[in-house]
Structure 1
Amino acid sequence: MIQLPSFSRRRAVLTVLASGASSLGLFSGSARAQAFPNRPIKLLVPVAAGGGTDLIARVVADALSRTMGQTWVVDNQAGAGGQIASQATARAAADGYSLMLGYVSTHGTLPAVRKLPYDTQKDFTYIGMIGGAPNVLVSNAVRGPQTFQQFLQDVRANPGRDSFGSAGAGTITHLVFERLKVATNTSIVHVPYKGVAPVMTDLLANQIQYAMPGLAGALNYIRSGKATALAVTGPRRHPLLPDVPTLKELGVPDFEAVQWVGIMGPAGIPADVGQKLTASLNEVLKQKELAEKLTSEGIEVMPMSVEAFRSYVAADSVRWREVVKKSDIKES
């Protein structure tokens, strides 16, 4: 019998052990993905209940619950422009059970105005894009102007008198209005809230005079005749508001903004679990019923690869940094 040298025997044993460990790892990952999810998945939503972003979260969570056979629990954690929910997500266990509805404010505009205790690219696992909608300039239907021209005349005649509400400092509903102020050379006071729903409540009570929520958050108020849509920020008129002109039509050049939404989790979610979440999201986005429900609320479904989603968010953040620079908003 041929005897292997002792070091050769050790190497052979280590090779076998390594091969077994590798196989065990592959098996473990496969088993984990098959078992996932075996308990409810929490979806943090960084705005107050009742607004457009919250509505999107609940519609998508309901569809994912049915598709994955496990409950998705929506947990609203508003405040600090979305920083509270984002920070909680970044620090959560990277097991796929703690996710968030990230959107343009949390990962696009907020990093442009604030030093954050987390990195919006490195500290998150990107699961997938859901879709986007334009913002809408709205006024009180009874006491406010009924056209964009009347809006300009009024605010220019009374600089600093009127106010606009946003879902929080640094959110898109804040920065998109700051961009409008610069473009139109107007002075309107900013009043931050914790979400779009309380903004619209005070708009209807005439506590504030204007707002620029996403279409999903404004649509019900416009349809009910409580708020007047003066303009949209999209590249073209929206089919749900065909009589409302774009800002570009109204003479505000190069003015486009999209309020995108997607799903993210903490960095380090196992690849197999992340892939299952992404596949499930893409599956529900293909469902006609879900697409119609989102479309009826002003959201255009925007499916894309995880890599494309991450790149889209990074580029969007750069654009909003430029807005902050031109608006002379100081980083906090």
Structure 2
Amino acid sequence: MSRRRLLTTVIGSAAFYAIPRIATAKDYPSRAIKFLVPVSPGAGTDSVARVMADYLSRKMKSTWVVENQGGASGQIATQATARSPADGYNLMLGYVSTHGTLPAYRKVPYDPINDFTHIAMIGGAPNVLVTNMSGPETFEEFLEQTKKNPGKYTYASAGVGSITHLVFEGLKLGTGINVLHVPYRGLGPGFNNMVAGQVQFAMPGLAGALPYVNSGRLRALAVSGSQRAPLLPEVRTLKEIGISDFETVQWLGIMGPKRIPGEITQALWSAVDQVLGEKEVKDRLANEGIATMPMTQRSFSGYVSADLAHWTKIVNSQGLREA
């Protein structure tokens, strides 16, 4: 072999091995999977991520490493996922805020639809309309009081553009009431002020509302889901009451960057689907207020798109879009 030909062969071989191998379903997963969670440790969303990581590690025989990366309402972790290698080893827990309410409200550094592979839905929880114990006792009384006194009452949210902000704006749009927004940095301080009577209403997620409702510090007037919440079976849905277009839930699902190979996406979806079918997993998620919502990957992708459109409509109708 000539020196030139030998050199060409060596360089070509080196280039071949320098190209990162694209994983296939045959050898996937062959190492740990990073599971990015866009909230701080300890929150309800984080708890759901850890339940799923635990069971998926066992199912796929490969460790799912939960990595919390809060900040900027989830934008930092979401952008990091969008820019990561599409190899199936860089995933995130996407949810209604990162891929729904926030991009509807303001410009974010990623496209919630086209920058991601929407792999599998996990489940969701309704929002709960709550008031303090000196407030109205029924939803009908809530409507009567707020309509008779426009601008007198206030509602708390976990921040501008959050699900707890936009879901109440959706309620205002659907009922014609005028209740003033009081944003907090998280609903913890808002709950305290509600109990003290300084703010009258809020629409937290089910998990956040339950400790206050069950202890008698707040009263639940309605839930936003398509059916009654098993943990609050006596509380009617807004749809039951007659408020249309109010089947919104605080959903969560598993996502990765765009262009993850189809057979790897299918392997991930299949593992999630099997895990969600286990009674123990359903029970653990139910303790977090989450009802499982298994669906096909195509259906999940469609769900995310429809949810973004829903929140965008509310933001535009209420003139809330941040410049």
TM range (shorter): 0.7 to 0.9
Kindly name which structure, 1 or 2, has the bigger radius of gyration based on alpha carbons: 1
Question: CA 1:206–1:101 in structure 2 vs 1: closer, same or farther (change >3 Å)?
Answer: farther
Q: How many residues align?
A: 306
- Number of the residue aligned with 1:320: 311
- The verdict on how the C-alpha distance between 1:155 and 1:320 changes in structure 2, with shifts beyond 3 A counting, is same
5+ residue gaps in structure 2?
A: 1-15
Match of 1:62 in 2: 54
Distance 1:328 1:99, change over 3 A: same
Deviates further, 227-236 or 185-194? 185-194
Letter in 1 for 2:180: V
User: Which amino acid in the other structure matches residue 58 of structure 1?
Assistant: R
Percentage identity across aligned positions? Answer: 55
The whole-number CA distance in structure 1 between the counterparts of 2:240 and 2:293 is: 25
Q: Deviations over 1:116-168 (max 9, x none)?
A: 2211111112220111222111123x454433234334444554454323333
- In structure 2, do the counterparts of structure 1 residues 169 and 95 end up closer, same or farther at CA, with 3 Å as the change threshold? farther
Does residue 292 of structure 1 match 2:280?
A: no
In structure 2, relative to structure 1, the CA distance for the partners of 1:75 and 1:158 (3 Å cut) is: farther
Counterpart check, 1:82 vs 2:79: no
Write the distance in 2 (CA, Å) between the matches of 1:116 and 1:55. 25
Pairing partner for 1:38 from 31, 35, 39: 31
Q: Please say if residues 146 and 228 of structure 1, whose CA atoms lie closer than 8 Å, have aligned partners that are also in contact.
A: yes
TM-score under structure 1 length normalisation: 0.79
C-alpha contact 2:22 2:87 (8 A) present in aligned 1: no
Which residue of the other structure, out of 231, 234, 237, is the alignment partner of 1:243?
Answer: 234
SS of 2:241's equivalent in the other structure is coil
Q: Secondary structure at the match of 2:239?
A: coil
Partner of 1:101: 93
Normalising by structure 2, report the TM-score. 0.81
State the 1:285 CA deviation: 0.7
Structure 1 residues 147 and 263, CA gap change in structure 2 (3 angstroms): same
Are 2:129 and 1:137 equivalent residues in the alignment? yes
CA contact (8 A) 2:122 2:253 kept: yes
Could you say what the CA RMSD is over the residues aligned between the two structures, in angstroms? 3.0
Contact 1:52 / 1:214 at 8 angstroms: preserved in 2? no
Please, which runs of 5 or more residues in structure 1 have no aligned partner?
1-20
- Work out the CA distance in 1 between the residues paired with 2:177 and 2:96: 25
CA spacing shift, 1:321–1:139, aligned 2, 3 Å: same
Q: Secondary structure at the match of 2:159?
A: coil
Of 264, 269, 272, the residue aligned with 1:278 is 269
Question: Given the alignment, which residue of 294, 298, 313 partners 1:303?
Answer: 294
Residues 149 and 60 (structure 1), Cα distance of their counterparts in 2 relative to 1, 3 Å cut: same
